[in-house]
Amino acid sequence: MAPDADVLIVGAGPTGLLLAGDLATAGVRCTLLERRAERQGLTRAFAVHARTLEELDARGVAADLVRTGERVGALRLFGDARLDLSRLPGRFPYVLVTPQYETERLLEERALAAGAEIVRGAEAVGVSQDADGVDVEVRTGDGAPRTRRAAYLVGADGVRSTVRERLGLPFPGHAAVRSVMLADVRLAEAPAETLTVGATGDAFAFLAPFGDGWYRVIAWNRRHQAADSEPVDMDELREVTRRALGTDHGMRDPRWTSRFHSDERQVPRYRAGRAFLAGDAAHVHSPAGGQGMNTGLQDAANLGWKLAADLRGWAPPGLLDTYHSERHPVGRMVVRGSGALLRAVLTERPLPRALRGAAVRAATRVPPVARRLAGAVSGIDIAYPARAAPTPSPAAAPPTCGSPGSGPAVRGAARRAVRPGRRRERPGRDVPGDQALGRPGALRRRRRGDQHDRARPPRRLHRLGDRRDGARPARRRHPRRAGALVRRARRPPRPERRP
């Protein structure tokens, strides 16, 4: 059977949409299958962290997204403990509070503009693969299932992933929290802070604005643990919010309510032959820390350029396997970190509660510790072992990719092909995002042998001025810079920032 696309993606959530945009931008034929006939107007995620904003910036989407939300420069953790984000390196020293549907809208517009095919009302129900490709059985509302074939498949179909299940992959883990109440309400009195959070031993409440007068409430009541199917009672929601925050802010006019539970789970392998898992399909945890969507978007950013490199014949053997070796540890760290935060927030024992507050207060006041915490929460400190990333073959690379033998330059060009956006790292200096990410000299602290994703442009780039055309070969436009690339590339391997 002839392939319908180079890559089939199942699931048009944030993960699938970013990936579709990257692949289409790189000229890869990709089709995104989405079970829902319409885009959803509901939101789950609110927090978009600095690292994700850098990834979106490299794709030309960050500025529009930032305009939809509110910037929060510090997170209130427990009581009066504050984690300052304003000293994060880069253009985004804050967490952006914006509804998930805004992120999805912008990513969908980008994917469509780049030529991705998005098929709504198409549910993946079966998966099989052979040495050359993957077949996905797709059910649409108007007829018998039809089979679509592609060279690769990515399951970005969320926590109940059909792709994961059809591949026979387990999803080990455990329940984290149940009977969490959600409601979209109006408030008579606006809270003083953009994000409001509070917890006693038996109550938790969190408020976040949509920016249009509506607020999302997330609340949890230890004294009443109900099934997900039980409706949310507004009196209970007000009472729990008062216990956790001291006031219910005059909560009224609920337009939507729901209950949910969260698990902590991670699939042991992100790759099975020609199929990959990304986002919630690969890892899930509670919303504590606001990491789920961010981690999924970063999975997609890591996988997209590797699939494109493989399909275009630039990838060295093993490049696709680095998706698992790089992203699985990050997923594990996020699942563990979010779980630890959740347990710290919900603990009812007085001593751990008191110690927790004191420890976090002390930690956030010690600059190096606070920097590490901010780096972890924002994703800025994520780094990959250098050994995990083979260098694309110079012989197979297209002629515009850089100097022969300059492995990292070739790698940079592969990424440049999927991310043509601009990055403004310092006031007055715009540089193509992928140069900033792909330059081998731009390495920063942390362990020896780690590769950094951190999007800080190399100093040399500033000296030589802006480059606005990421597709041109470096040698033609800036001979000195190209030379610098070659010299650096011949040095022993050093850590490198990558998506």
Among 70, 109, 123, 233, binds ligand FAD (CB under 6 A): 123
Q: Give the amino acid at 178.
A: R
Residue 179 to residue 190: CA distance in whole angstroms = 26
Residue 357 to residue 82: CA distance in whole angstroms = 11
Residue 205 or 293: which CB sits closer to ligand FAD? 293
Among 218, 380, 388, 409, binds ligand FAD (CB under 6 A): 218
Site membership for ligand FAD, residue 91 (CB under 6 A): no
Extract the tokens encoding 57. Answer: 């910036």
Site membership for ligand FAD, residue 298 (CB under 6 A): no
Among 10, 183, 303, 377, binds ligand FAD (CB under 6 A): 10
Kindly indicate which of the ranges 10-18, 108-116, 469-477, 486-494 contains the residues binding ligand FAD, using the contact rule CB under 6 A.
10-18
Q: Which residue in this structure is represented by tokens 């032959």?
A: 273
Q: How many residues bind ligand FAD (CB under 6 A)?
A: 34
Residue 307 to residue 267: CA distance in whole angstroms = 20
Residue 101 or 314: which CB sits closer to ligand FAD? 101
SS3 48: strand
- Find the DSSP H helices in 227-320: 234-245, 292-311
Residue 11 or 420: which CB sits closer to ligand FAD? 11
Site membership for ligand FAD, residue 185 (CB under 6 A): no
CA-nearest of 85, 83, 77 to 357 is 77
Site membership for ligand FAD, residue 34 (CB under 6 A): yes
Shortest Å distance, C-beta 443 to ligand FAD: 27
Label residue 172 exposed, middle or buried (CB < 10 Å: 0-12, 13-18, 19+). Answer: exposed
The conformation of residue 181, written as its DSSP 8-state character, comes to E
What is the CB neighbour count within 10 angstroms for residue 95?
29
Among 7, 46, 134, 392, binds ligand FAD (CB under 6 A): 46
Among 5, 9, 12, 345, binds ligand FAD (CB under 6 A): 12
Q: Is beta strand 117-120 parallel, antiparallel or unpaired with respect to 70-72?
A: unpaired
CB 191 within 8 A of CB 45: no
Shortest Å distance, C-beta 291 to ligand FAD: 5
Site membership for ligand FAD, residue 36 (CB under 6 A): yes
Strand partners, 96: 48, 71
Kindly indicate which of the ranges 289-297, 363-371, 430-438, 484-492 contains the residues binding ligand FAD, using the contact rule CB under 6 A.
289-297
Site membership for ligand FAD, residue 296 (CB under 6 A): yes
Kindly indicate which of the ranges 263-271, 279-287, 455-463, 488-496 contains the residues binding ligand FAD, using the contact rule CB under 6 A.
279-287
SS3 210: coil
CA-nearest of 401, 449, 408, 442 to 423 is 442
Site membership for ligand FAD, residue 99 (CB under 6 A): no
Site membership for ligand FAD, residue 108 (CB under 6 A): no
Query: Where on the chain is the footprint of ligand FAD (CB under 6 A)?
Result: 10-16, 33-36, 44-47, 100, 123-124, 156-158, 162, 182, 218, 260, 279-280, 287, 290-294, 296
